[in-house]
Structure 1
Amino acid sequence: MPFKIPDVVPAGALARREQPVVPVPGGLILRPWSPDDAPVVYEAFQDPVLQHWHPREADSVDEARGWIDGWRKAWPEERDAHWAVADASTDAVVGRISLRQIVLADGQAEVAYWTMPSARGRGVAPRALTALSDWAFDEIGLHRLELTHATANEASCRVALKTGFAPEGTKRSSGLHTDGWHDMHLHARVQGDEPAGT
């Protein structure tokens, strides 16, 4: 028996194309990860701030290279999509942004991001998030993007609010970090929402 509602985004919407480079205002780009980026990924995961909010840790450059290999394979499998946020002129990596848990049929995904310590306070995360969200809505046709962060992570909350991800509630005790269970704020932006000023 067929479904009465067609897929929001047909299968193959990602796999049939090369992962793009997405321009970001202010001299940045979102580009696919390269194995050569492994040292900078390893360096990022030595940062205590990132370690506090992220469930993984990198023990070596080789381990980071393995992550990048997985990130690159996720694109044709249409389950996740990962980009390096890089300086458009130097190609230096200043952060990471991704669409996770993509469900094309439902037109939904979750966004996640981090920035290098040297890039914080310069608007990198909001600009990258707005560019990725616009691309996901306009080019792929996703309908809803979700963003979650620990309620104690005020910096991530500011990024969400600044980019038009409306707060929708608190998921109680739903994120396990090294210091225990955290309540998580749920934000979302849906097709047709206007991003807030970035």
Structure 2
Amino acid sequence: MRALVTPPAIAPGTLAARPQPVLTAPGGLALRPWADSDAPVFLAAYRDPAIRRWHTRQPASEEQVREWFERYRRDWAGEQGASWAVTGGGRVLGRIAIGSVDLDDGVAGCGYWVLPDARGQGVAPRALAAVGDWALGEAGFHRLHLSHSTRNEASCRVALKAGFRLEGTKRSEAVHADGRHDMHLHARIRGDR
């Protein structure tokens, strides 16, 4: 009996052969790798109640933030993920990332947050769409997915506006500070509009 062998969707070394890209999005947004000088604003973001509610892993100090930034750089070099500072008007507005990268299948997960004073301006959907366009285009991924609590209606709107279709509900999948939450699963695949 012969084993079925398929080539990887993204050849190992393809992403890491270049620096992590700086991406642009409509409305003057730029998505760039995090710099150590961003540590204070990154740490301050996790003091926001909404970000704390939906993101259970939180840095405790600027030193720990810089360690996270170093891990983000290693993740890019190891083709395991990428994290961008979403910027506009000369300041950081939020974060967007891909992780859980599977080069064989061409699949990755997405996550994001936006600082309080930048909410309601379409920052998250524009940034998520830009990452999706790059990942499903130039980078060669086939599928991007994201999950959010079914109680997080704002995140659901972001996903839908960025072209990530709702695929279903994962029951009792994630632990938050107030207990287990059902999670919506959204995805965008190459060719989706």
The CA deviation at 1:4 is: 2.5
Separation in structure 1 between the aligned mates of residue 3 and residue 10 of structure 2, nearest angstrom = 17
8 Å contact 1:9–1:141 — kept in the other structure? yes
The CA deviation at 1:2 is: 6.9
Q: Within 5 Å, which residues of 2 pair with 1:1-198?
A: 3-87=4-88, 89-90=89-90, 92-194=91-193
Q: Which runs of 5+ in 2 are unaligned?
A: none
Task: For residue 185 of structure 2, give the secondary structure of its aligned residue in structure 1.
Answer: strand
8 Å contact 1:40–1:93 — kept in the other structure? yes
Q: Which runs of 5+ in 1 are unaligned?
A: none
Q: Deviations over 1:118-166 (max 9, x none)?
A: 1100000000000000000111110000010000000000011111111
1:5 to 1:28, Cα distance in 2 relative to 1, 3 A: same
Count of residue pairs the alignment pairs up: 192
8 Å contact 1:146–1:189 — kept in the other structure? yes
The CA deviation at 1:181 is: 0.5
The CA deviation at 1:14 is: 1.1
The CA deviation at 1:69 is: 1.4
Paired amino acid for 2:161? K
The CA deviation at 1:57 is: 2.2
- Runs of 4+ displaced beyond 2 Å: 1-4
8 Å contact 1:46–1:58 — kept in the other structure? no
8 Å contact 1:82–1:97 — kept in the other structure? yes
The CA deviation at 1:63 is: 1.5
The CA deviation at 1:9 is: 0.9
The CA deviation at 1:12 is: 0.9
1:3 to 1:84, Cα distance in 2 relative to 1, 3 A: farther
When normalised by structure 1's length, the TM-score is 0.94
1:3 to 1:34, Cα distance in 2 relative to 1, 3 A: farther
Separation in structure 1 between the aligned mates of residue 7 and residue 15 of structure 2, nearest angstrom = 18
Task: For residue 64 of structure 2, give the secondary structure of its aligned residue in structure 1.
Answer: helix
Separation in structure 2 between the aligned mates of residue 100 and residue 63 of structure 1, nearest angstrom = 19
Task: For residue 5 of structure 2, give the secondary structure of its aligned residue in structure 1.
Answer: coil
